[in-house]
Structure 1
């Protein structure tokens, strides 16, 4: 991406996938509600099917796993292309939809009378449709859970180890939620097998529902913790980016560059505010393009070899430092009303601008972190002196 033209920047990855995350959170909450005896009875009375929640819970669980499966695809750059997502949808869509349709058909085909809430498996252990419903659910859940967990463990986002670490912490809770789903499968299977005789294992059946509730709680913790970590990182990035924003944006000279105010009605920053700031920074850099000079980058290339790793620091990034020095020099040249540099003396494009849009936020943060680095300040000063000397 080259920041040479004004205009609204692209939406970034920080909050692009908020809808799937919210859907998983809603599904996990619904599972918890459906497995609660009071809600179980209430929904059964409203829909005139006493044990409908025994169908809604596995259906919602599969929907929840499907959303998680989708999120894993969207989090990995090499898998979220439209063609790849389409192939994934054609491959896994029939699995989820087919299982849900078959379970629904089996439930309504069975002749079921009222049963005590949470005793569905034990009360109807001798009904073929109920056994088949559970077998379909177990097969679909086992296949999709194993696939989702494998993709969770293989999660990789090039250039963003911090984001991967953040996601994997949340995914650990989600994997636990899926594990509880499999515990539910094992207990329910034992309930059905043990209830085929004269004695019903109602207590064991209730324990299976406890595993379902534990699963929904773990899923809620997974999504909530991930969103809270993301929000904390967004606030940190906005604080880091503010000096760079102030450097390249002149509200008086370029009021049209500044977008909507970056405070929501609730007083809390969100990912859209961060996206707006990144878009403004990109526009501001483009507005300073007539003063982009190759001198700061050349000065850095001469200064760096004489410095030790200790002087450079652990977070040293030459590309980000070159952009930071170029922006410092360009902003000063613009502020003192120097005439635009002749095209042959301008820098055609900034270093490191051939990056993916999803990496733009990380790149800008790195640039902002280097604005006050001594070498960057020295390189910009060298360029200022060279420009002053060559000025007519």
Structure 2
């Protein structure tokens, strides 16, 4: 699948600050980047495909630099000219084989987001660029209808928002996710949504009728009930209490809700496992699943940088526990291990979730949705009579 990226007219991208971070303790002349309010990443770390590495160096103006506030990276939106919208996968450790992501990049700014490294393919940073230089797919509804109209297409649940959040702030204006849901509802095609935004409740009028027919569900990500930790981990996502309210509203509307407690970061939020399960069950969730922290590619450095900035006293402990789940490394990418980890720490987390599910009447995540009512559209948007 080929993709072309073109900037939106009258919205030029800001010049990247080029302050790829390096531990200043290794060289006193190197400066650590400073975080920005409302952003997750601390720096614009260079992508793995770049020819040059940028480092901030003290040139004698350090005192003046420290007095001045770091320049803010404003959010910009470009167009993703993708030629198709359904992405297929063959991963044996996810319960679906197709997904839709209306946006590239995500303004929520979750420091742990496993999609961050994809921005390197665009020549952009997985750091601040990922959460400030976004792209949307305005043709997604049309492309979706075209793909569904193909006689070679066989229906199976489509998951919306597997990489970046379909209800991130920009969707308040664009309503792209709502337009995609409309196409799926028109075709009676089963779908599930993954989000950490209360904005999902806007589309209850479209989701609920499909859920009544067992053709729609929602997964809400709840990482922490601690507002400070949540704000640092996911600076522009909905606050924990807003997510619980969203779960309650969805559940009251008859929409099955699963909770994704992801990621579980030992030494940081693992002490909340039982509290998260209890609060979400009380709000009406029917199932809960978990994923332990994943640190592929550039995310490992970005996360350690984040720990240094926000939890310096816990950094060594957290990274030690992570390595204990990853065979001594910061990450293991093998199927079967990448989501759950291995070893005593990972096993203990899994057992605690199993006990929490039993105690609060929750189940594991399921995508057992009905595909029998699918109505294939014609390429011009009309529904087929046969």
TM, length-normalised to structure 1: 0.21
Larger helix proportion, structure 1 or 2? 1
Q: Work out which of the two has the higher radius of gyration on C-alpha atoms and give 1 or 2.
A: 1
Higher strand share: 2
Give the number of the structure with larger relative contact order, counting CA–CA contacts within 8 Å between residues 6 or more apart: 1
